[in-house]
């Protein structure tokens, strides 16, 4: 049983993935991606996405995002993203570093989403062709969002249509890709290229791997010189097969789906339980594996005192907390969390 | 038995390390290095080096080198290194990327080594303080070198003295650190800070890990803002404990030493055997786990035909080959290699 | 008589400055700023600002801003500025380039001004010390603003106090510095260091020079390695004396003040005249030498037809126009502009 | 009479150019190159070079070089140049800055020249297509060279042929372009595109302008996004016409040729005179307007004592000096220099 609701990257690794790694750890293989496992990944991902894709495994989500953006934007480019997106708020400027100084144009929007009319408005005001202005280069959305919400397929299609009308590619930061697919009940293809996504940062680490992500190009022409940029960024893993083995096992037997289902179900259960506690209010709807919820202070302190880990989300005084579930989260953990919460809900504030 | 002499990063992983990873793969832990294993590493490395060090685990050697140099050099800095060093020849410009455009000043020198008088000469001609010139920022050496040779402790001390006389820190690229320590029969401390090394890229991947390196600062003040630069470079692994577990197991029970000993012994055995074959000539002395050797063409082709993998080192016509042994290389593999080589040595060129 | 109200950089050069340049164009002088004129500038600027300053002449305002910011912010820094500031909107990403990828955090605010409570709010939410977030590095304001307004001394003091409370330096983009000083009726000292400004981009080009700006450090310790960054940016003019001669003449005999007075007076006259025309509405108050004004379409077209040059400010359909006056603008030009405007105001829309 | 032999950028400005600047300094013109003078420059340069060219005026030679290289090389590119070239030694890393970290591969060679066989050798060893290596991007030569010598047309053709055989463009740093053309007695076309040069940094500052250079593309497709890079680098002069006026006057009436002829003739006269003094030895042949010459210490000190300015070229003890003549240098100055030199030549060393 875990008491850790701080993030899904506090989880360990799926046994299936650990087994694949150990199994693949013997004997020699050519380095830098010239091994059989890495080379088969192209076909495996193409099958997964029901179209020919070009993929590049890397070890971190920030690397996936920043490298993807580095081939989409020139140094004087503008990347349109949500104000609270991970690329803008949580990567210490990695996109700026890898693009050699592109500008992230921040669009606000409720519940972590860019609204199509806002995107259209910002792009309408961009000064394309003017030498004084940074030049529109790409649009990036996060799915599931940083607010624990999920763009509908129609919302993605609308954003893609606007981006494409301005000749801009659409990038999706899919750090919690599987959680979103499970939430929408759609296929990976439907949530990506069929809806207009051109490049995807495919996250697997949070959902059961050790350190495995993939940059997925649905339009291989966009990948351009990514091979050189990945190496130059120090992100070409020499024993690449060990990253690829994780991704291979992750896609095998629907492990990705099974893991995300467990995480999402636990989040839903938690949301339902908390919703019944007086004084609890949700900041955003719970649509994947993250809850943003205001807890009465005694509940919050009671949970902390009982050993549960999670972040106050808006400073040390904040009663807005983020709760994240993962594939490792058990019913038992959630039940226990709710019991403690209910106990303290009845008590007066100290 | 392996037929792969192409590189030591074609090897798999030490069973001890795989076991530690699996053992540590269960249950939750705080991410981004805030887990107990990562935090204990500081003490473990300090003990290993017999002095207080500050370390930063990363997943690739290029990241270790480039990040280390990024805190040693301003964008307008000059980093003095060997012409054939990995940082100059094999990282697709990663040091230039992470330093935001510093210049690698290339010094030639026999057998992969910078000779002290050459370093002194280059530094003597640097225009320190002149606004027109890039400013001397660091000296970087590789141990074991790219030529399979090993700097003696005295050679390191001499280079360090010159660097320090110019107020420059000495960086060591230790991608094959363990092989060099074993070769010299010294301690890790003797080959580093006691000889004047200020910052070390400590390599573990080639010698038995999956993907684990550490940037080691013997002068913690030099680390400056490396934490931010590592994150910004996409090199802060979220489930950091899995890199740290590898390093922990690598240092435990002298695994690092045992592995390097095996690799070096196999290289020495190979060198002895090849040295007895007529027409074989060594380009450099074999002092660690790499051989640079000219093979008669029939020998070379006979080995290739028998399934042995290795690189012609100077183009497709070259009879100069590089042979690399690793901790996984068995006596049987080397014996078989030598048998095939001897068989073909006696034959006329086809 | 000029018909050009498009910008103040459409103006020519003050005769006094042309004369100084020609006078100084004979004979030899040491290059790169080692000439007597450049060296005397330090004293001249220190006198002008009534305090010891360190200055660096450059040829463009973008260079002045970007170089100034490059010593204030690390690559992973955040620079707080107005959404519509020149550094954010009109320099094609020069600040990002020179800082090696810092982030411009954009704050909205009426009439081109950052309001103190907004700055305090944004800084309050910055995650100082968190490795995931870019780190607050500087605050930058524009005086006069991009909206033709002028911060009061108290407004500057308030913003400076907030910046300093967060240990951040305050940079002022003074492309229209003289116009603002004239508008406030204060001294250069009062509008800068006495109000808390730490670094100034001192603009002279728009107000009568050919190509002459200066980066002015009121805290010389902040200049750090600017000399190297200026050279590396290609902004160390070899025959530097010719930039310095312009600045010398500009400060001599209060030429800077006389020129700005003329520009401001013409703007005020234009504003008064336009204000009397039915249907004309001002977007912002006119406080320096720029007007942002909505013109009835017949007025706008009538002026264009009469040969007057100015920009529609919000796209090709926009009736919001910007009108800029300079030291070269005559009463006659403004009178003529107003006559044409009045003529067309009475007519029905075609 | 000038005593300054330190550099040609110690000279003032040609009266013709000063006159053109003053003449053009009245009245308004659109900024940022949208003025008539700048727009006519394209035709004027095309006529000058007898072919359609695309040109970009800038204010410094470092900017011209670095911007030119920034469109020729990706961040992971390699630029082949002479070890002692200005781009490698004297620009504080500007090429690395503007290319976002490309590598300058330094080739040694007598008298400042790259020898064709050396270029072929280096390019032959480049690992084109290997993700581990920086990728060959451009070759850059300096004409006249940093050693005061001049490549013959055949030498340029040979270097161009090798570069082009590797699909690399040839860049020429022409800081002393006019001096080289005069030295060869050829046309500007013959020394550039007819010999295989693709991009030229056309220098005018040293030969009579205040601050005026031009990046000249003989293959306009190579210019790519230079407009954005120039603006982003802070090198789009707002009152551009004042740079363009200099270039216009410089090309008018063969002023460029007349000025360079004077400089070269004075250098030749100086060389002849010094050659007759016992103990004087030339380091390089004098082919343009620079002399590299070993002077007996009494001669050297006698000249310094008489007020002549020049640099000891290899440190404070060096008797190797550089003497540079410019368009402003008079016969009288050279005569006086020689008289003083001769006087001290006869004396014993103190």
> Which residue does chain A place closest to D227, by CA atoms?
A131
Residues of A in contact with D100 (CB under 8 A): 75, 100
Note whether residue A190 is domain-resident.
yes
Together in a domain, D147 and D247: yes
D51 contacts D193 by C-beta, under 8 angstroms: yes
Q: Does D128 touch chain A (CB under 8 A)?
A: no
Helices then strands, counting H and E runs in chain D, come out as: 14, 11
Paired tokens of B95: 């040091």
Note whether residue D350 is domain-resident.
no
Together in a domain, B299 and B229: no
CB contact under 8 A, A225 and D76: yes
Note whether residue D54 is domain-resident.
yes
CB contact under 8 A, C103 and A93: yes
Q: Where in the sequence is the domain holding C285, given as residue range(s)?
A: 3-9+255-344
pLDDT at A350 (0 to 100): 46
Note whether residue A104 is domain-resident.
yes
Q: Across residues D245-251, what is the average pLDDT?
A: 98
pLDDT at D315 (0 to 100): 83
Å from B26 to nearest chain C CA? 26
Residue D350 confidence class, pLDDT cut points 50, 70, 90: very low
**Bond preceding residue A144 cis, omega within 30 of 0:** yes
Residue among A65, A103, A135 with most chain C CBs within 10 A, to mutate: A103
Residue among D75, D77, D229 with most chain A CBs within 10 A, to mutate: D75
Together in a domain, B93 and B60: yes
Together in a domain, D66 and D193: yes
Residues of A in contact with D229 (CB under 8 A): 75-76
Residue D347 confidence class, pLDDT cut points 50, 70, 90: low
DSSP D3: -
* Integer Cα distance of B107 and C43 in angstroms: 45
CB contact under 8 A, C25 and D18: yes
Give contacts of A 292-331 with B, CB under 8 A. 309, 328
CB contact under 8 A, A90 and C131: no
Q: Which residues of B11-48 are buried (b: 16+ CB within 10 A; e: fewer)?
A: bbbbebbbebbbebbeebbbbbbebebbeebeebbeeb
Together in a domain, B215 and B265: no
B29 contacts A10 by C-beta, under 8 angstroms: yes
Please name the member of A13, A24, A205 whose beta carbon is closest to the beta carbon of B238.
A205
Residues of C in contact with B74 (CB under 8 A): 225, 228
Note whether residue B278 is domain-resident.
yes
The CATH number for C212's domain is 3.40.640.10
> Which residue does chain D place closest to A131, by CA atoms?
D228
CB contact under 8 A, C76 and B100: no
D101 contacts A2 by C-beta, under 8 angstroms: no
Q: What residues does A174 pair with on adjacent strands?
A: A202
E strands along C156-209, which residues? 170-174, 199-203
Q: Across residues B87-96, what is the average pLDDT?
A: 98
The CATH number for A277's domain is 3.90.1150.10
Q: Is residue A45 classed exposed, middle or buried when 0-12, 13-18 and 19+ CB atoms within 10 A define those classes?
A: buried
Residue among B67, B75, B230 with most chain C CBs within 10 A, to mutate: B75
CB contact under 8 A, C235 and D60: yes
Residue B317 confidence class, pLDDT cut points 50, 70, 90: confident
Split into its structural domains, chain A has a count of 2
pLDDT at A306 (0 to 100): 97
* Integer Cα distance of B82 and B140 in angstroms: 8
Reported as a single tens digit per residue, the pLDDT across D34-63 is: 999 999 999 999 999 999 999 999 999 999
Reported as a single tens digit per residue, the pLDDT across B243-293 is: 999 999 999 999 999 999 999 999 999 999 999 999 999 999 999 999 999
Q: Does C93 touch chain A (CB under 8 A)?
A: yes
Please name the member of B22, B28, B242 whose beta carbon is closest to the beta carbon of A4.
B28
Å from B30 to nearest chain C CA? 15
Q: Tokens 């063969």 correspond to what residue?
A: D254
CB contact under 8 A, C75 and B100: yes
Note whether residue D349 is domain-resident.
no
Q: Across residues D3-32, what is the average pLDDT?
A: 95
Give contacts of D 254-273 with C, CB under 8 A. none
Please name the member of A74, A227, A236 whose beta carbon is closest to the beta carbon of D225.
A74
Together in a domain, D248 and D294: no
DSSP B309: B
Cβ–Cβ contacts within 10 Å for residue C275, how many? 12
Query: What is the ipTM score, two decimals?
Result: 0.96
B92 contacts A232 by C-beta, under 8 angstroms: yes
* Integer Cα distance of C31 and A264 in angstroms: 68
* Integer Cα distance of C102 and C81 in angstroms: 12
Note whether residue B350 is domain-resident.
no
Please name the member of A74, A228, A236 whose beta carbon is closest to the beta carbon of D135.
A228
> Looking only at Cα atoms, what is the longest distance across chain C?
64
Together in a domain, C262 and C249: no
Q: Is the predicted pLDDT of residue D349 greater than 50, yes or no?
A: no
Å from D64 to nearest chain C CA? 8
Please name the member of C12, C92, C237 whose beta carbon is closest to the beta carbon of D232.
C92
> Which of C253, C284, C304 corresponds to the end of one domain?
C253
Reported as a single tens digit per residue, the pLDDT across C29-86 is: 999 999 999 999 999 999 999 999 999 999 999 999 999 999 999 999 999 999 999 9
* Integer Cα distance of C144 and C160 in angstroms: 16
Reported as a single tens digit per residue, the pLDDT across B133-179 is: 999 999 999 999 999 999 999 999 999 999 999 999 999 999 999 99
Together in a domain, C115 and C242: yes
Q: Is residue D320 classed exposed, middle or buried when 0-12, 13-18 and 19+ CB atoms within 10 A define those classes?
A: middle
Q: Across residues D325-343, what is the average pLDDT?
A: 97
Q: Does A236 touch chain D (CB under 8 A)?
A: yes
> Which of B236, B253, B270 corresponds to the end of one domain?
B253
Residue among D7, D65, D95, D96 with most chain B CBs within 10 A, to mutate: D96
CB contact under 8 A, D76 and B91: no
pLDDT, mean over chain D: 96
Together in a domain, C249 and C291: no
Give contacts of C 51-80 with A, CB under 8 A. 75-76
Contacts 24+ apart (CB under 8 A), C314-317: none
* Integer Cα distance of B80 and B122 in angstroms: 8
pLDDT at B348 (0 to 100): 52
CB contact under 8 A, A6 and B30: yes
* Integer Cα distance of A120 and A123 in angstroms: 5
Together in a domain, C170 and C235: yes
Å from D156 to nearest chain A CA? 31
Residue B164: phi, psi to the nearest 5?
A: -65, -35
Residues of B in contact with A237 (CB under 8 A): 59-60, 211
CB contact under 8 A, C28 and D2: yes
Element (H, E) at B43: helix B36-49
Can you give the pTM of this predicted structure? 0.97
Strand C281-282 to C311-312 pairing: unpaired
> Which of B253, B268, B291 corresponds to the end of one domain?
B253
Residues of C in contact with B132 (CB under 8 A): 32, 231
CB contact under 8 A, A101 and C106: no
B342 contacts B305 by C-beta, under 8 angstroms: no
Q: Of C290, C55, C291, C328, nearest to C207 (Cα)? A: C328
Together in a domain, C169 and C43: yes
Please name the member of C92, C100, C133 whose beta carbon is closest to the beta carbon of A133.
C92
Q: Of B206, B154, B195, B148, nearest to B172 (Cα)? A: B195
Together in a domain, B87 and B64: yes
Reported as a single tens digit per residue, the pLDDT across D144-170 is: 999 999 999 999 999 999 999 999 999
Note whether residue C149 is domain-resident.
yes
Q: Of C332, C14, C30, C2, nearest to C204 (Cα)? A: C14
Which mean pLDDT values do the consecutive 10-residue runs of chain C (350 residues) have? 93 96 92 96 98 98 98 98 98 98 98 98 95 98 98 98 98 98 98 98 98 98 98 98 98 98 98 97 98 96 97 90 97 97 75
Please name the member of A76, A100, A106 whose beta carbon is closest to the beta carbon of C101.
A100
Chains with ≥3 CB–CB distances under 8 Å to C: A, B, D
E strands along chain C, which residues? 54-58, 77-82, 103-107, 135-142, 170-174, 199-203, 213-217, 281-282, 290-294, 311-312, 320-324
């Amino acid at each position: 049983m875990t008491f850790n609701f701080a993030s899904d990257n506090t989880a360990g690794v799926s046994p299936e993935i650990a087994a694949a790694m150990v199994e693949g750890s013997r004997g020699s293989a050519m380095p830098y991606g010239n091994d059989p496992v890495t080379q088969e990944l192209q076909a495996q991902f193409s099958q997964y996405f029901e179209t020919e894709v070009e993929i590049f495994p890397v070890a971190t989500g920030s690397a996936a995002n920043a490298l993807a953006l580095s081939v989409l934007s020139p140094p004087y480019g503008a990347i349109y993203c949500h104000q609270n997106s991970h690329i803008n708020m949580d990567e210490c400027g990695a996109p700026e570093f890898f693009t050699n100084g592109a500008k992230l144009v921040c669009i606000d929007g409720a519940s972590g989403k860019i609204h199509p009319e806002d995107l259209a408005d910002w792009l309408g005001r961009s000064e394309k062709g003017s030498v004084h202005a940074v030049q529109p280069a790409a649009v990036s959305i996060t799915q599931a969002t940083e607010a624990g919400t999920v763009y509908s397929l129609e919302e993605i299609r609308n954003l893609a249509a606007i981006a494409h009308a301005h000749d801009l590619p659409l990038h999706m930061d899919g750090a919690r890709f599987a959680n979103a697919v499970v939430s929408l009940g759609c296929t990976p293809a439907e949530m990506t290229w069929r809806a207009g996504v051109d490049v995807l940062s495919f996250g697997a680490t949070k959902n059961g791997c050790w350190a495995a992500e993939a940059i997925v190009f649905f339009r291989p022409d966009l990948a351009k010189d990514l091979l050189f940029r990945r190496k130059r960024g120090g992100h070409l893993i020499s024993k690449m097969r060990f990253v690829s083995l994780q991704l291979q096992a992750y896609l095998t037997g629907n492990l990705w789906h099974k893991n995300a289902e467990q995480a999402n179900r636990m989040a839903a259960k938690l949301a339902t339980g908390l919703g019944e506690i007086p004084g609890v209010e949700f900041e955003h709807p719970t649509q994947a594996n993250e809850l943003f919820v205001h807890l009465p202070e005694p509940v919050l302190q009671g949970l902390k005192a009982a050993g549960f880990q999670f972040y106050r989300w808006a400073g040390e005084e904040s009663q807005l907390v983020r709760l994240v579930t993962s594939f490792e989260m058990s019913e038992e953990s959630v039940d226990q969390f709710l019991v403690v919460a209910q106990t303290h809900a009845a008590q007066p504030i100290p």
